Structure 1
Amino acid sequence: MLLSFRFANHRSFRDEQQLNLMPVYGDGVEPTESAPQSVQVVGVFGANASGKSNCLGALAFMREMVVGSDRAVEPGEGLSREPFRLDPDGGAQPSRYVVDLQLGGIRHTYGFTIDDERVLEEWLYHYPLGRRRRVFERDGDEFAWGEESGRRGDLGQIAGITAPTALFLSTVARFGHSRPEPDPTNPQPLHDTYRWFYLASPRADAASGLSVLLDGGRADAEQVRHLVVDLLQAADVGIVGVVLRPDRSNDDVSWRQGPTRGMRGRVRAAMSAAIPPRRIQFAHQGPHGPALLDLHDQSTGTRQLLTLGLHAADVLGTGATMLIDEIDASLHPILTAKLISLFRSQKANPLGSQLIFTSHDAALLGTLDAEEILRRDEIWFVEKDDEGASSLYPLTDFKPRKEGENRQRRYLNGNYGAVPDLSTHLFEQALATRGGSDDAAAE
């Protein structure tokens, strides 16, 4: 579970920012023992090019470094990062990424600092019994271990082969002994922290999500098919079923002709005979009964719904964190609100999965069925200053109005900032000028 994320010098963010997911209790409401340690949903709102995507991108970049830095960069080639480039000194300053996590009931703090050449610093602490304990600290190529780090001899050997461009957490995960899930009775901070990043996987597209159905060897393919049908029927998009059929559109008889095509051809023929290729189609209710259409025949909104629905089902089943940029793209606000509500439901989300998304849709700041779609402590804004640097701040910085708070209207009126500063005159003038030049050319 993510408690907070801090980062600095990443794309449009120059100064250090913090996305704090700790609940904010107000109006006389006090936390209880059963209350979650962090909010399950965070929505980030702002104008176009304000830096919303860069906020999520910073966390995604940190995840990519943790999962793959030990093998993604060739020695001597440096690191590929994206610092704040509007300031001439921005590229020379290091970038910093830090997360606070709740893993197995214990708080962990992990972070690193990098420049274009190498990892400058890296550290991991955990807090059993509420006291900070060092797991490891890294300063360049020098490492320091905590008293509870366990096999420090083994860790020292792994540190010795950790490349300057690789994170130690990535390297130790490759050579250590990982396990499927945290064990509160036997905490392993290194592997538990790595596992959190590994599960926070990037969003897949509809085609890759539906590939589970096409894999005849997958034991859960039928379960996923029922999920897809239920999801589409609940969304009322006109689809009444999902059909899997043999796919012979790519058959190539030439490579089935035995020894004359070589060993590779025989292997492909044997695999095709064992697991015949399949094709997924969607049954739409028509005037004369169901009609079958392919995935590419579906609307953009239907494909987006499948993308988010399948990915959300996977995340909710693992207790992971889901990142979505522009959650409202091609989706009706009611569908978006229902997707958000899944993560706020204890029944649908018993493992405490989290959803962090960006959006332009001010309707998500309002209510649905007399219930708030997002609470005050689940709403954040991004805004750029006159120097082009983005800043991140929460709605809780603003005091609610005594007579009631219409957040959607107040946001669109600019009361919270993070809206476009649009010049209607210049906007109309630019379009009118363009049209005039085209008319003159035509004459």
Structure 2
Amino acid sequence: MLLSFRFANHRSFRDEQQLNLTPVYSDASENDDSVPNALQVVGVFGANASGKSNCLGAVAFMRQMVVESDRAVEPGVGLSREPFRLDPESSTQPSRYVVDLVLAGVRHTYGFHIDDDRVREEWLYHYPLGRRRRVFERDGDVFAWGEESGRRSDLEQIAGITAPTALFLSTVARFGHSRPEPDPADPQPLHDTYRWFYLTGQRTDPSLGLSALVHVSRFDTEEVRRLVVSLLQAADVGIVDVVVSSAPDDEHSAWSEPPARGMRERLARATARALHPPRVQFAHQGPHGTALLGLEDQSTGTRRLLTLGLHAAAMLRSGTTMLIDEIDASLHPILTAKLISLFRSPEANPLGSQLIFTSHDAALLGTLDAEEILRRDEIWFVEKDDEGASSLYPLTDFKPRKEGENRQRRYLNGNYGAVPDLSTYLFERAIAARGPVDGEATD
């Protein structure tokens, strides 16, 4: 679970910023030990080109470095980073990324500094019994270990093969030994931290979620199919069922044939299945019954709903953090609000998954069915100053009232900042002054 994310010198963000997920307000009904000590939903709002996507992009970049840096960077090439380039001095300074996490009930702090050439600093601390313990510290090629780091000889060997452009956390995950699941009774700070980054994800391709319907086992396929049907029926998009058509000879797996059949026949069957994979179709209710249509026939909103819904289901089952840029794209505000509410529901989110998203939709600052879509400490803004540098700040800086404050209207009126500074005169003048389009008649 993410407590906070700090970063600096990343794209439009020059100075250090912090996205803090620690609750600011707590209701009397929430004062019990079962409530996690981090927010489960955070929404980031702002004008176009203010830096909202860059905020989530900084988290995604940190994840990419952790998961891929040990093998994705060629020696001697340097690092591909994106510092603040509007200031020549800042572009040469290191970029910094730090997360505070709660893993198996224990706080962890992991971070690194990088420049164009190499990893300058890297560290991991954890806090068993509330006291900070060093797991490791890295200054260039020099490593220091804590008492609870594990077998120091093994770590020293892995440190010795860690490239200057690679993170030690990436390298130790690749070459060390770890369990597939964390064990609170026997914590492994290095591998538990890596696992959080690995599971944290961001997806935008509508076909990715549906691919689960044709690539998982038959038992899981039916479970995913029911989930898709439930999502679409709840959204009232006119789809009443989802049909997964069988591939040729699907009732007999080509690879389960007895050896006597011969390898040539088994390969022929496998090739046929590859050329004619199962197909997902959607049953729409018509005046004379149902008609089957493919994914390509569905609206952009339906495909977006499927993608987000299936991805959210995966995140909720794994207890990890989901990142969504422009959550409102192609979705009705009610559907967006319902998706957000899943992460607050103890029934839908028993493992404490988190949702961090960006949006332009001011309606998400309001209410639905007399309930706040987002609470006061779940709302953040991004604004860009006259020097082109973005800043990140929470709604709580404005001391908002719990009730009786129309945040949607106040935001659109500019009371919180983070809105476009639009000149109506210049906008109309630019449109009126456009030249003729090819083929357009002129007076």
TM range (shorter): over 0.9
State the Cα distance separating 1:201 from its structure 2 match.
2.1
Counterpart CA distance in 2 for 1:399 and 1:28 is 19
The residue identity in structure 1 corresponding to 2:270 is M
Counterpart CA distance in 2 for 1:119 and 1:402 is 44
1:409 aligns to 2:404 (yes or no): no
Pairing 1:122-133 to 2, within 5 Å after superposition: 122-133=122-133
Aligned length: 428
Counterpart CA distance in 1 for 2:162 and 2:311 is 33
Which SS does the other structure have where 2:149 is aligned?
coil
State the Cα distance separating 1:181 from its structure 2 match.
2.1
Q: Give 2:286's aligned residue.
A: 286
Segment of structure 1 superposing worse, 88-97 or 380-389: 88-97
Whether contact under 8 Å (2:247, 2:273) holds in the other structure is no
Q: Give 2:257's aligned residue.
A: none
Counterpart CA distance in 1 for 2:437 and 2:336 is 42
Which SS does the other structure have where 2:363 is aligned?
helix
1:329 aligns to 2:329 (yes or no): yes
Q: Give 1:19's aligned residue.
A: 19
State the Cα distance separating 1:218 from its structure 2 match.
5.5
Segment of structure 1 superposing worse, 316-325 or 22-31: 22-31
Structure 1 residues without counterparts, runs of 5 or longer: 249-262
State the Cα distance separating 1:440 from its structure 2 match.
9.7
State the Cα distance separating 1:214 from its structure 2 match.
1.4
Counterpart CA distance in 1 for 2:289 and 2:349 is 37
Counterpart CA distance in 1 for 2:218 and 2:403 is 56
State the Cα distance separating 1:49 from its structure 2 match.
0.1
Whether contact under 8 Å (2:44, 2:379) holds in the other structure is yes
Counterpart CA distance in 1 for 2:279 and 2:239 is 17
Q: Give 2:340's aligned residue.
A: 340
Q: Give 1:369's aligned residue.
A: 369
Per-residue Cα deviation, 1:130-151 (whole angstroms, up to 9, x for no partner): 0000000000000000011110
The residue identity in structure 1 corresponding to 2:179 is R
Percent identity between matched residues is 80
Whether contact under 8 Å (2:95, 2:114) holds in the other structure is yes
CA separation of 1:59 and 1:442: change in aligned 2, threshold 3 A: same
Whether contact under 8 Å (2:322, 2:355) holds in the other structure is yes
Whether contact under 8 Å (2:376, 2:400) holds in the other structure is no
Per-residue Cα deviation, 1:92-126 (whole angstroms, up to 9, x for no partner): 00000000000010000000000001000000000
Per-residue Cα deviation, 1:15-50 (whole angstroms, up to 9, x for no partner): 000000000026888854333210000000000000
Q: Give 1:431's aligned residue.
A: 431
State the Cα distance separating 1:394 from its structure 2 match.
0.2
Counterpart CA distance in 1 for 2:204 and 2:431 is 38
Per-residue Cα deviation, 1:59-98 (whole angstroms, up to 9, x for no partner): 0000000001000011111000000000011220000000
Whether contact under 8 Å (1:4, 1:101) holds in the other structure is yes
Q: Give 1:353's aligned residue.
A: 353
The residue identity in structure 2 corresponding to 1:321 is T
Counterpart CA distance in 2 for 1:386 and 1:86 is 11
Counterpart CA distance in 2 for 1:83 and 1:43 is 24
CA separation of 1:283 and 1:403: change in aligned 2, threshold 3 A: closer
Q: Give 1:223's aligned residue.
A: 223
1:271 aligns to 2:270 (yes or no): yes
Whether contact under 8 Å (1:204, 1:311) holds in the other structure is no
Counterpart CA distance in 2 for 1:222 and 1:150 is 43
Whether contact under 8 Å (1:319, 1:351) holds in the other structure is yes
Pairing 1:27-426 to 2, within 5 Å after superposition: 31-215=31-215, 217=217, 219-246=219-246, 269-272=268-271, 277-401=277-401, 404-426=404-426
Counterpart CA distance in 1 for 2:424 and 2:213 is 50
Counterpart CA distance in 2 for 1:440 and 1:154 is 73
CA separation of 1:28 and 1:210: change in aligned 2, threshold 3 A: closer
CA separation of 1:273 and 1:16: change in aligned 2, threshold 3 A: same
Which SS does the other structure have where 1:164 is aligned?
coil
State the Cα distance separating 1:274 from its structure 2 match.
6.4
Which SS does the other structure have where 2:318 is aligned?
coil
Which SS does the other structure have where 2:312 is aligned?
helix
Counterpart CA distance in 1 for 2:429 and 2:436 is 10
Whether contact under 8 Å (1:43, 1:358) holds in the other structure is yes
Per-residue Cα deviation, 1:291-335 (whole angstroms, up to 9, x for no partner): 010101000000000000000000000001000000000000000
CA separation of 1:143 and 1:329: change in aligned 2, threshold 3 A: same
Structure 2 residues without counterparts, runs of 5 or longer: 249-262
The residue identity in structure 1 corresponding to 2:176 is G
CA separation of 1:213 and 1:403: change in aligned 2, threshold 3 A: closer
State the Cα distance separating 1:436 from its structure 2 match.
7.2
Counterpart CA distance in 2 for 1:131 and 1:207 is 46
Q: TM-score, normalised by structure 2?
A: 0.92
The residue identity in structure 2 corresponding to 1:269 is A
CA separation of 1:27 and 1:410: change in aligned 2, threshold 3 A: farther
Q: TM-score, normalised by structure 1?
A: 0.92
Counterpart CA distance in 1 for 2:361 and 2:416 is 15
Counterpart CA distance in 2 for 1:177 and 1:237 is 47
